[in-house]
């Protein structure tokens, strides 16, 4: 286990215990550990601490109760506007302005934020939250609809959409922070938020704000529901799992030292994918739809988790393939896995098949930002036929998922079919 893997849990525990000790020496020990980490590791620590704090505050505000009540009286959903729209994605988008104002009101009324700061946050949200494919958010509505028998009232659609937007805010938090850590140039067809000259490292704090808005949304819209605690705990668990995956990804190579290709194994890759991608991209929207639809079976949640993790691996391998072979104008970003020295599925497959000479090419060129080095790695991938290897994997994975769905007994097959349709042979 690396020093970082040991230090980060110690830091989180120290932060949690500090109010109990209130001693200067305790704070100094925490500070020494924290500032001894690299910037990307400090970001991971702070994000994890913040998620626990925000979750605790949300629960405290609810008084720990679980009484089931109707929609809060101060919430007015844009049901008339939504009813005029035919496209499900358009209906989903119709909720964004309302939720943005919920977050702005929280900052304005409870935190006394002045207009200059409010304008900053509004601009930041518009830039980072709604511009993606919105697959995670709309999946919550689809799952909820499927589990409710195929039809939802306008109000049910709106409330399921609100939960979907909570995931989209979470996604924005992860992406803003991830782009800083990876030094990525573009996201969704435009410069990353931190790349804007007036933003830069302020983006780190902006990412924490985006995370906090997840709990603002949950509290305002679901604070009186019997399943509110379950939703909050689900988000906290998934946030922690995703940040563990990010840590495994960031530490797949030792920082400031020569590349160690022996660390790029299929076992490590699968662990990264499971925690960094599968839980928040697949299991979170499915589990939320299950919770709000009244599913209580532990077996059903276990089955959903297993299938979602299989789909998550498939999805991330597609993502790694598109990072190398996808067109930037189609996928919305410039792929940098080779330059970033990432434990990508492609490099894992290449190393598994490489001759001594091919391994030497990878060692000399992988993880370098010079265009010539990147081109040499891509030439080697072509030489090794990795495109065909991916296509074969994609078909085999699809067959495996279908086999899992054929064996389903505790969950409707349609819940997972709708996910599979969104990702099978995707090009972006």
Known active-site residue 421:
no
Q: Which of 17, 41, 38, 39 is nearest to 29 (CA)?
A: 17
Between 183-197, 271-285, 321-335, the lowest mean confidence (pLDDT) is in 321-335
From the candidates 102, 179, 320, 323, which is the catalytic residue? 320
Residue that has been written with the tokens 């991608």 in this structure: 277
Asked whether residue 374 is domain-assigned, the answer is yes
Higher pLDDT, 180 or 47: 180
Domain tally, the chain: 1
Q: Report yes or no on 46 lying in a domain.
A: yes
Residue 14 lies in a domain: no
Cα Rg for the chain, rounded, in angstroms? 22
CATH code of residue 200: 1.10.600.10
State the catalytic residue, choosing from 100, 102, 178, 179: 178
Tell me what percent of the residues of the chain surpass a pLDDT of 90. Answer: 64
Q: Catalytic site residue 133?
A: yes
276 tagged catalytic = yes
Average pLDDT (115-132) is: 96
Angle at 174 between CA 33 and CA 290, to 5 degrees: 115
Tokens of 264: 């790029």
Average pLDDT estimate for 69-85: 82
Instruction: Assess if residue 393 is contained within a domain.
Output: yes
- Known catalytic membership, residue 388: no
pLDDT-based confidence at residue 64 (cuts at 50, 70, 90)? very low
Predicted pLDDT at 69: 47
Distance CA 103, CA 214 (A): 9
Q: Is 372 a catalytic residue?
A: no
Q: Which of 108, 148, 182, 413 is catalytic?
A: 182
What pLDDT is attached to residue 427? 74
Asked if 187 is an active-site residue, the reply is yes
220 is catalytic: no
Q: Residue 110: which domain range? A: 38-423
36: Cα separation from own chain's centroid? 27
Mean pLDDT of 274-288: 94
**In a domain? residue 2:** no
182 is catalytic: yes
The pLDDT tens digits for 344-391 are 999 999 999 999 999 999 999 999 999 999 999 999 999 999 999 999
């Amino acid at each position: 286990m690396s020093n970082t893997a040991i230090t980060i849990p110690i830091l989180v525990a120290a932060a949690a215990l500090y109010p109990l000790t209130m001693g200067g020496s305790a704070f100094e020990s925490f500070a020494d550990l924290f500032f001894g980490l690299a910037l990307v590791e400090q970001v991971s620590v702070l994000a994890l601490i913040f998620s626990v704090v925000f979750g605790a505050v949300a629960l405290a505000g609810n008084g720990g109760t679980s009484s089931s009540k109707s929609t809060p009286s101060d919430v007015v959903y844009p049901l008339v506007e939504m009813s005029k729209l035919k496209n499900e994605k358009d209906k989903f988008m119709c909720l964004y302005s309302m939720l943005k104002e919920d977050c702005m009101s929280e900052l304005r009324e409870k935190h006394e934020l002045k207009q200059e700061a409010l304008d900053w946050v509004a601009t930041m949200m518009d830039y980072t939250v709604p511009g993606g494919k919105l697959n995670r958010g709309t999946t919550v509505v689809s799952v909820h609809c499927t589990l409710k028998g195929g039809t939802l009232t306008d109000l049910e659609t709106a409330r399921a959409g609100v939960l979907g937007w909570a995931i989209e805010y979470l996604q924005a938090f992860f992406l803003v922070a991830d782009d800083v850590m990876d030094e990525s140039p573009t996201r969704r067809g435009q410069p990353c938020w931190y790349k804007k000259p007036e933003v830069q490292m302020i983006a780190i704090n902006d990412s924490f704000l985006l995370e906090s808005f997840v709990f603002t949304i949950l509290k305002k819209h679901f604070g009186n529901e019997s399943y509110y605690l379950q939703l909050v705990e689900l988000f906290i668990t998934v946030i922690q799992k995703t940040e563990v995956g990010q840590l495994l990804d960031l530490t797949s190579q030792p920082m400031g030292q020569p590349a160690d290709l022996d660390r790029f194994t299929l076992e490590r890759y699968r662990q990264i994918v499971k925690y960094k991608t599968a839980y928040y991209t697949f299991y979170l929207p499915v589990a939320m739809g299950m919770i709000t639809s009244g599913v209580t079976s532990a077996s059903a949640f276990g089955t959903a988790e297993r299938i979602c993790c299989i789909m998550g691996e498939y999805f991330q391998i597609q993502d790694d393939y598109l990072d190398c072979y996808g067109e930037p104008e189609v996928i919305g970003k410039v792929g940098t896995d080779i330059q970033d020295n990432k434990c990508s599925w492609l490099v894992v497959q290449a190393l598994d098949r490489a001759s001594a000479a091919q391994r030497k090419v990878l060692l000399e060129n992988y993880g370098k930002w010079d265009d010539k080095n990147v081109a040499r790695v891509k030439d080697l991938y072509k030489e090794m036929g990795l495109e065909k290897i991916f296509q074969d994997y994609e078909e085999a994975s699809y067959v495996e998922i279908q086999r899992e769905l054929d064996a389903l007994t505790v969950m409707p097959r349609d819940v997972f079919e709708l996910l599979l349709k969104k990702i099978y042979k995707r090009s972006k």
